[in-house]
Structures are given as C-alpha cells and as structure tokens.
C-alpha cells in the first residue's frame, strides 16, 4: 500500500493545529513486519504474547495498535492499555487484523529516513531501559519496556511530516547551543514538550509516559535539586544523607516511572555525544537513581548501546554505538602512553562551527573537492592530527586518496585496489567503524594495504566508511599521531562522520 504522507503538509503554528495534524498521520509500517504479524494472527498456534513480540519490532505498528485499543475505551472507566498484549486482547484478533489492513506499508528502506532515525532512538531507549532498570524492577518490566518505547512517539509523525524542522532544531539547539524554548517558538509556534504532552493525552498512552512529560514541563525545580545531588557522585554517603534530609525529594526521585524518562534522556542525548554536558546530566541522574558508581553506569550504557546497535542499526542511520570503542574492552592506556589531550573549549567551538557549515541546506558546496576539503577541516578540528579521505570509484574496485592532512605529499597520489585488502572490502560493503589498538593492531594491520598503514605509524587508528543513498562512497582514516586517542575526540569523530554523511546527501540532491 502506498504511503500517503509524502504530500507536503502545511505547518501549524498553534498547539491545537499541531495536535490535529499529527493525530491524523498514519505512520508507514515495514512490509516485512506487517506480513509476519498478519501470518501470526492467522496461525492458531500463536499466542497473544507471540503476536505482541512480533509487533514490537515495528514501533509504528505497536503504537497504532495501542492507540486503536485506547481510542475504543476513551471516555469509559477502563484504564488505558499499558502494553501491547493488553491492547490486542481488548481489540480482539479480528479488529486487530482489520487495523493492519488499513495501515500504509512500505519496504523498510523506503520509509523516510527521518522517521526511521527517531524510531531507532526509541528502540535504543527501550534497550537501555530493559538493561538498566527492568532486571531490578522485574515486576514492572512491561511498564518500563512499553513506556520507554512510546515516550518519543509524538515525534514520529512530526519526523514524517516536517523532517526539516527537526533537523533545524537539532542544528540550532544541539550544535549551535541556542535556547530550545526560543528556537521551538520560532519553528513550531509552541514548545515541543507541549506538543508531546498533548498527543500523549489524546492517544491515552501509558501513565508513565504522561508522568515523564509532566515532570519535564512542571517539575523542573525538583529535577534541578536532584541533579545537584547527583553531580556529587564522588561522595555517595553524602548524597544519601542529602536525600535522607529531604524525604519528599527522595520519594520523587525513586518513582519507578522515572525509568522511562531516564532511558529516553540517555538515548536521545547519546545521539549528540556520550560525553556532552547533556548526556552527562542523564548519566549522573541514572547513577543516583540506581545508586551505582558513574563508571559502572557508563560501562553498562555502552554495553546496552552495542546490544541495541546489533538489533536496530540500519546502514544509512546513525547509532551512538558507532562512536564507541570497537571491539569492547580495548579502551585502556597501553605501552605507557597517555591519551592525547582532550580538545579545549575553543577547539570544540571551532569544530562545532565546521560541522554546522557541513549541515547548511541547501548545500553550499560547488563540487566534491569543495565538500571533502570541508570534511577534512572538520576532522582536524575535532582533534585528528593525520587524516586521509578515500573515495570509491563506481565499481568499488579502487579507492583513491581525495584529501589528506598531516601526511607527506606523496600520500595524496595513492590508489588502493580493494580486492587486495579484506578490511577495505568489509568497510566498503556496509557502514562500519574499526578502531585499531595495541590489542588488535597486528590482526587488523595485516588486513590493510601496507602503503596505507605505512603512513599511519603507531598502534592507534580509526577507519570509518561513509554512506550516501544506501551505498558506501567514502572511507575516512584518522589518528592523533599514533598514540592513544582522547575519548572526547573519538566521540567527536563519530559525530563529524555523521555530519559529513548529511553533507553528502544534501550535495547529491542539490537542485532537486
């Protein structure tokens, strides 16, 4: 069935206008998930739990079923369906099947990228919630799971109807540091949180989702108080004493519903950088909520992100796990070398400016050389001392050096035959990032062309493939002089790669 949401949609400027528009959007469902669920519904051997488990692989499908079940009980004394199994039970299999027939379906790759990206953040949040909280609050795992998945669902139809507005919001609020309320009033005419809260109430989503929006909008004072205590993570006993002195605040913090908000705060902020101030705030709060040291929280966060990426990543989407160390467990200081110094505030400001220039739309680049120069400069600005940008030919048989920084002049003339390197073949096959360390250096160096490896002396190296229109077209090779990386720079490298991919996409679609 064709997706009916590709028609340009006028932009509302009031809360009522946004709610009416977004409530009327029918989200496309991946064809494969749709077919799988339809077969399961018609299979007498399948239980409701089986059908619910299959549905949750498609966030749009899960939301549609829960909304439909709650719409039919609206105004009655019946509580909203808190999970998918309850929703299917209320609708019955016949009405569930009828709903499925009305939903637009598309192959996954044809569902608009902005929608898939936001839904993947929701899936990442659900993974974090299950890993961090559900095992500790096993009786409440369904509430944690479904609340976490649906918390950002008001953004899903927005990503479908007005993806450019969300991109503009990200550019101005996240990358340029502008005030979120000011930007949102200019872009939407109303706060995004207010749109989210209104839709959550109209859709009668789980109560924990409603509580999360209410907290963000009306309980800022308590949040600030708790954050001040959370930042004192080096002194857990002092933290506990401060909470004991304020029992009301302690009860407020320990609400199980807060797990949904924490998981989404962690997943959403990780899209920017794991060590950004915004991300660290959610990590501190999670550390205090779980009464767990920060380093253990961070390790679990990274492990759950890797689990999420294994299940939910797609070649043309950015997942925060891509900027983590690979393979897991090799982020130690080796051979007595200290990591490179973290970029200064001035360096990071320059880097953000370079990334912002890559994200300008319509594309300001006149040719591929112009774009790759800007990409090289952004990689240097994030702290890389040696950079090589390789471009693939049409057949993926060769990789030619397009830009270099910090390397001898002869490096600019290099050309690599892809068939002679297993690692280059892997990087060209799909989006991937490989990090060389003293632990795996010998293994991976043997898989690289010797004339490429010769230009990057040392045991620490990053290689990443960049995708445009579903195809790898570029590989970036970079290091900080061969010694251990600054972890801040590794995070910035991942975000820079994402910005370059967006620039490639805009450049390839200029004039359309």
3-class SS letters over 384-443: CCEEEEEEECCCCCEEEEEEEECCCHHHHHCEEEHHHCHHHHHHHHCCCEEEECCCCHHH
Taking alpha carbons only, the member of 3, 124, 100, 2 closest to residue 51 is 100
Let me know how long the chain is: 512
∠ at Cα 12 (10, 18), nearest 5°?
A: 115
Domain stop point among 321, 349, 382? 321
In a domain, 343, yes or no: yes
Q: Within a 10 A sphere around the Cβ of 505, how many other Cβ atoms?
A: 16
Least confident range from 70-79, 94-103, 407-416: namely: 70-79
* Burial grade of 397 (CB within 10 A; 0-12, 13-18, 19 or more): exposed
Boundary of a domain, candidates 289, 321, 353: 321
Q: Which domain holds residue 138?
A: 112-153+205-321
How would you write 246-294 as a 3-class SS string?
CHHHHHHHCCCCHHHHHHHHHHHHHCCCCCCHHHHHHHHHHHHHHCCCH
Residue 333 falls inside a structural domain: yes
Please tell me whether residues 217 and 331 are part of one structural domain.
Answer: no
Q: Is residue 234 part of a domain?
A: yes
- Mean local confidence (pLDDT), 390-396: 92
Domain assignment present for residue 47? The answer is no
Domain assignment present for residue 89? The answer is no
Residues 302, 216, single domain; the answer is yes
Percentages (nearest 5) of helix, strand, coil residues in the chain: 60, 10, 30
Residues 443 and 365 in one domain: yes
Residue 465 dihedral angles phi and psi, to the nearest 5°: -95, 145
Higher-confidence residue of 336 and 90: namely 90
Domain identity same for 356 and 474 = yes
Runs of H (alpha helix) within 359-392: 368-381
pLDDT of res. 75: 52
Position 432 in a domain: yes
Identify the residue with better confidence: 326 or 61: 61
Are residues 364 and 234 part of one domain? no
Together in a domain, 360 and 311: no
Give tens-digit pLDDT for 320-352: 887 774 433 333 222 334 677 777 777 888 899
Which of 287, 303, 321 is at the close of a domain?
A: 321
**Cβ-Cβ contacts under 8 Å for 181 (sequence gap 6 or more):** 191
Classify residue 30 as left (phi > 0), alpha (psi -120 to 50) or beta: beta
For residue range 132-176, list pLDDT tens digits in order. Answer: 998 788 889 889 999 999 999 999 999 999 999 998 898 888 777
Could you tell me if residue 334 is inside a domain? yes
Q: What is the pLDDT of residue 172?
A: 85
pTM, two decimals, is: 0.65
Do 236 and 282 fall within a single domain? yes
Task: Indicate if 485 and 401 belong to the same structural domain.
Answer: yes
Overall average pLDDT of the 77-101 stretch: 87
Q: Write down the mean pLDDT value for the chain.
A: 88
Instruction: State the Cα–Cα distance between residues 236 and 294, nearest whole angstrom.
Output: 11
- Together in a domain, 280 and 384: no
Identify whether residues 483 and 345 lie together within a single domain. yes
**Is the domain of 293 the same as that of 346?**
no
* 413 in the same domain as 372: yes
Residue-wise pLDDT for 243-270, tens only, equals 999 999 999 999 999 999 999 999 999 9
| CATH number where 394 lies | 3.30.450.40
Which burial class, exposed, middle or buried, applies to 153 when counting CB atoms under 10 A from its CB (0-12, 13-18, 19+)? buried
Specify if 7 maps to a domain.
no
Whether the CB-CB separation of 427 and 421 falls below 8 Å is answered with: no
Percent of the chain with pLDDT over 90: 55
Pairing status of strand 415-417 against strand 398-405: antiparallel
Q: Which residues of 281-319 are buried (b: 16+ CB within 10 A; e: fewer)?
A: bbbbbbbbbbebebeebbebbbebbbbbbeebbbebbbb
Considering its fold, how many domains does the chain have in total? Answer: 2
Give yes or no for a contact between 279 and 270, defined as CB atoms under 8 angstroms apart. yes
């Amino acid at each position: 069935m064709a997706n009916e949401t590709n028609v340009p949609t006028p932009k509302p400027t009031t809360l009522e206008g946004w709610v009416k528009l977004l409530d009327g959007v029918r989200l496309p469902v991946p064809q494969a998930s749709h077919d799988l669920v339809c077969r399961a519904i018609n299979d007498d051997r399948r239980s409701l739990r089986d059908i619910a488990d299959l549905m949750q692989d498609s966030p749009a499908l899960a939301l549609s079923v829960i909304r439909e079940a709650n719409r039919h009980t609206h105004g009655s004394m019946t509580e909203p369906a808190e999970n998918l199994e309850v929703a299917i039970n209320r609708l019955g299999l016949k009405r569930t099947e009828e709903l499925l027939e009305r939903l637009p379906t598309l192959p996954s790759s044809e569902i608009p990228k902005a929608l898939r990206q936001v839904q993947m953040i929701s899936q990442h949040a659900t993974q974090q919630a299950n890993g961090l909280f559900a095992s500790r609050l096993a009786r409440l795992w369904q509430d944690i799971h479904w609340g976490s998945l649906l918390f950002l669902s008001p953004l899903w139809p927005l990503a479908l109807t007005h993806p450019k507005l969300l991109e503009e919001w990200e550019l101005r609020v996240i990358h340029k540091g502008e005030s979120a309320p000011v930007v949102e009033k200019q872009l939407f005419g109303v706060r995004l949180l207010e749109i989210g809260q209104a839709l959550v109430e109209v859709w009668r989503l789980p109560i924990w989702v409603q509580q999360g929006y209410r907290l963000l909008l009306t309980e800022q004072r308590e949040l600030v108080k708790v954050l001040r205590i959370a930042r004192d993570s080096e002194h857990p006993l002092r933290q506990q004493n401060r909470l004991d002195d304020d029992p009301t605040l302690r009860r407020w913090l320990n609400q199980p519903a807060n797990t949904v908000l924490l998981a989404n705060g962690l997943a959403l902020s990780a899209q920017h950088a794991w060590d950004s101030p915004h991300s660290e705030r959610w990590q501190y709060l999670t550390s205090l909520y779980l009464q767990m040291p920060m380093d253990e929280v961070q390790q679990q966060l990274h492990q759950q992100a890797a689990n999420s990426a294994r299940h939910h990543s797609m070649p043309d989407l950015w997942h925060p796990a891509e900027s983590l160390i690979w393979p897991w467990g090799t982020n130690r200081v080796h051979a007595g070398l200290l990591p490179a110094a973290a970029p200064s505030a001035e360096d990071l400001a320059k880097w953000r400016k370079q990334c912002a220039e890559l994200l300008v739309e319509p594309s300001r680049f006149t040719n591929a050389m112009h774009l790759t120069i800007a990409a090289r400069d952004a990689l240097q600005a994030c702290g890389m001392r040696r950079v090589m940008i390789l471009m693939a030919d049409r057949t993926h048989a060769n990789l030619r050096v397009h830009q270099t920084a910090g390397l001898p002049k002869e490096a600019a003339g290099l050309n690599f035959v892809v068939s002679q390197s297993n690692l280059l073949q892997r990087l060209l096959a799909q989006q991937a990032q490989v990090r060389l360390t003293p632990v795996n250096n010998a293994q991976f160096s043997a898989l690289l062309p010797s004339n490429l490896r010769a230009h990057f002396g040392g045991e620490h190296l990053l290689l990443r493939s960049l995708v445009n229109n579903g195809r790898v077209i570029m590989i970036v090779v970079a290091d900080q002089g061969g010694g251990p990386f600054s972890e801040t720079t590794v995070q910035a490298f991942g975000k820079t790669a994402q910005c370059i991919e967006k620039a490639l996409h805009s450049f390839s679609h200029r004039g359309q």
